[in-house]
Structures are given as C-alpha cells and as structure tokens.
C-alpha cells in the first residue's frame, strides 16, 4: 500500500470520526435544529439591534445584509476554529485517543484536516439555512442567480485553509494547558471582534483595526459580501477592487499558514518533550 493511500484512508477515517463525534449524540432532526438555532438567533439579535436604532429607514436591507452575511458565514469559523481546537483537547482528555493518532501512520496534519473538514460540513448547513431564512424573512437583496460563485468559492477555500491552520496551531498550544476547556470558543470570540463579521473594522480603535487588517478573515468577509450582494454590498475597503481584496486575502492567508506552521511545530515539540500528548487531564 502506497503512502498516499495510507494518508487518504487516514483522512477519511478522521473525517468520519469528526462527524460522528459532533453528530451522533442525537437524532438528525434535533441535530439540524441545534445547528441552526444558534446562528439564526445570533443573526436576529443583530437584526433587532439594527431595527431598534434605524427603524425602517432607507438602506435598511443593505445594512441587514451586511450583518446577516457576516453572521451566517461566521459558522465556518465557529465550527472550524473553536470546534477543531476544542476537539484536540477532547481527543486527549475526554476520549484519551490522541496518543494513538500520534502513533498511527497517518500524518498528524492529515488527521486534523479530516477532523476539521467534518466540522465544516456542519457549518455549511448552518450557513445555508441562515442565509435562506434571513433573505426571505428580511427581503435581503441577495439573488441566487446573480451571486458571484467563483469569487465566493475561491475566497472561502482560502479563508477556510487559514481558519483550519490557525485552529491546528491554537489547538496544539492548548495542549500545553491542563484544563483548556472553553478556550477554543474564547479564541473564536476574539477573532469575531477583529474579523469585520458584524461591524466594519473602521469602528475599532487604531491598534485593533491594524491587527484586524492583517487577518485574512476581514478580506474574506469583504469578498463574501461583494459576491453575494454585488453593488448592494456595504464595503469596508471601498477603494479596493475585487482583485485587490482577493490578493490581500491570498497574501494574509499565506502568511497565516506560515505562522501557524511554525507555531504548530514549536507546540508539537514542546508537547512531545513534556509528555503532554497522553497527559491525564482529569476531564
């Protein structure tokens, strides 16, 4: 059996494992309700906040589309980042199987990629339902026939690579702590503030706005809105063309992956040296 086939099998097994862990606790209907209820409520919180301030003034639908698209696609970060980072701690502490993954012939990256992909599958359903429900209920200017799908898909693939890369590095860093429960969500919350998901990053104070501009998530959010809403999109980078924003996304994603790889390598060495891979964390 070639090495590539072994890695592929490992990837498939990891994807299936991730999916089973995140979904086999309940019946499919309840799982769907659970996966949709949270982001939908999150979106409607913002809708009500906006309506409280702006009422039904002209341009309402455009701004609501800005909010809803950000919240809908945020599920990818919530599941992909927090889910994967938490998953690594769970594999060690709750399921006590991380050491077996390390001992298996599958490269750890391949295993984590599979685990992350399973998380993203849940996010797809959540994002689609939030977009459909909100577009119909709020009459958002999103026309499925006019969406720039190549741009949306290309930007999302790049951003999700960055998200999984960040989650891998962050998740492995969390292994350095005995009790890192909740830190995956904490990391996702921080990204939420600096991603431009629910407000333009120009609102942030100078230092935070600069940090936000270095994150691929901001450019992803911008491209999501441009591809979904076209000329109706409220732009965070009004002076940049689509190609410019895509280039920035590409560069920041590449930089993020390089940094994530370095952090991952360092955290991996530390975890091995300190014997943290099979540490009993009293889950």
Q: Which is nearer to other proteins, 90 or 161 (CB)?
A: 90
When binding is defined by CB under 8 A, the residue of 10, 42, 83, 87 that contacts other proteins is 42
Site track 62-101 with other proteins (rule: CB under 8 A), x = hit: --------------------------------x-------
For residues 92 and 209, give the distance between their C-alpha atoms in angstroms, rounded to a whole number. Answer: 36
Closest CA to 119 of 156, 91, 77, 90: 77
Between CA 156 and CA 150 the distance in angstroms is 10
All residues at 6 or more sequence positions from 236 whose CB lies less than 8 Å from its CB, including other chains: 196, 200, 201, 202, 218, 221, 222
1 interacts with other proteins by CB under 8 A: no
How many residues bind other proteins (CB under 8 A)? The answer is: 40
3 binds other proteins (CB under 8 A): no
Chain centroid, CA 172 distance in Å: 17
Tokens of 253: 């994603």
Q: How many CB atoms lie within 10 A of CB 204?
A: 17
Closest by CA position to 77, among listed 235, 196, 173, 242: 196
Per CB under 8 A, 32 contacts other proteins? no
Q: Is 20 in the site for other proteins (CB under 8 A)?
A: no
Residue 44 interacts with other proteins (CB under 8 A): yes or no: yes
> Does the protein bind other proteins through residue 102 (CB under 8 A)?
no
Tell me whether residue 2 or residue 282 sits nearer to other proteins (CB atom). 282
Q: Which segment (106-114, 158-166, 194-202, 256-264) binds other proteins by CB under 8 A?
A: 194-202
> Which member of 12, 16, 20, 26 binds other proteins (CB under 8 A)?
26
When asked if residue 182 is in the footprint of other proteins (CB under 8 A), the reply is yes
183 binds other proteins (CB under 8 A): yes
Q: Residue 51, interface with other proteins (CB under 8 A)?
A: yes
How far is the C-alpha of 204 from the C-alpha of 6, rounded, in Å?
47
Which of 12, 49, 124, 259 is in the footprint of other proteins by CB under 8 A? Answer: 49
220 lies in the site for other proteins, by CB under 8 A: no
Rounded distance between C-alpha atoms, residue 131 and residue 249, angstroms: 23
Look-up: residue for tokens 């998901």? 197
Q: Are 122 and 36 in contact (CB under 8 A)?
A: no
In the complex, least distance from residue 17 CB atom to other proteins, rounded to whole angstroms: 15
How far apart are the C-alpha atoms of 131 and 138, rounded to whole Å?
Answer: 10
The residue with tokens 């689509």 is 242
Q: Which CB sits closer to other proteins, 76 or 192?
A: 192
Q: Give yes or no for a contact between 265 and 172, defined as CB atoms under 8 angstroms apart.
A: no
> Contact between 210 and other proteins (CB under 8 A)?
no
Interacting residues with other proteins (CB under 8 A): 25-26, 30, 33-34, 37-39, 41-42, 44-46, 48-54, 94, 177-183, 185-186, 189-190, 192-193, 198-200, 203-204, 283
């Amino acid at each position: 059996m070639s090495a590539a086939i072994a890695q592929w099998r490992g990837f498939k097994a990891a994807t299936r494992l991730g999916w089973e862990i995140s979904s086999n606790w309940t019946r499919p209907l309840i799982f769907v309700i659970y996966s949709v209820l949270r982001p939908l409520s999150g979106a409607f919180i913002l809708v009500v906040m906006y309506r409280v301030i702006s009422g039904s003034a002209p341009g309402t639908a455009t701004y609501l589309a800005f909010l809803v698209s950000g919240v809908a696609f945020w599920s990818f970060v919530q599941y992909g980042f927090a889910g994967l980072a938490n998953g690594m701690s769970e594999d060690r502490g709750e399921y006590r199987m991380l050491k077996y993954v390390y001992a298996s012939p599958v490269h750890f990256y391949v295993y984590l990629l599979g685990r992350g992909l399973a998380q993203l599958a849940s996010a797809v359903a959540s994002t689609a339902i939030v977009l459909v429900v909100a577009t119909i209920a709020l009459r958002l200017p999103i026309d499925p026939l006019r969406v720039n799908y190549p741009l949306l898909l290309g930007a999302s693939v790049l951003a999700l690579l960055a998200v999984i890369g960040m989650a891998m590095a962050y998740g492995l860093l969390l292994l350095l702590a005995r009790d890192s429960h909740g830190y995956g969500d904490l990391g996702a919350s921080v990204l939420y503030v600096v991603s431009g998901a629910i407000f333009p990053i120009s609102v942030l104070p100078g230092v935070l706005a600069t940090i936000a501009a270095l994150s691929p998530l901001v450019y992803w959010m911008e491209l999501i809105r441009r591809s979904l809403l076209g000329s109706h999109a409220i732009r965070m980078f009004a002076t940049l063309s689509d190609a410019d924003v895509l280039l920035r996304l590409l560069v920041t994603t590449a930089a993020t992956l390089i940094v994530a790889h370095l952090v991952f390598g360092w955290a991996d060495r530390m975890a091995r040296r300190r014997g943290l891979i099979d540490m009993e964390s009293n889950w």
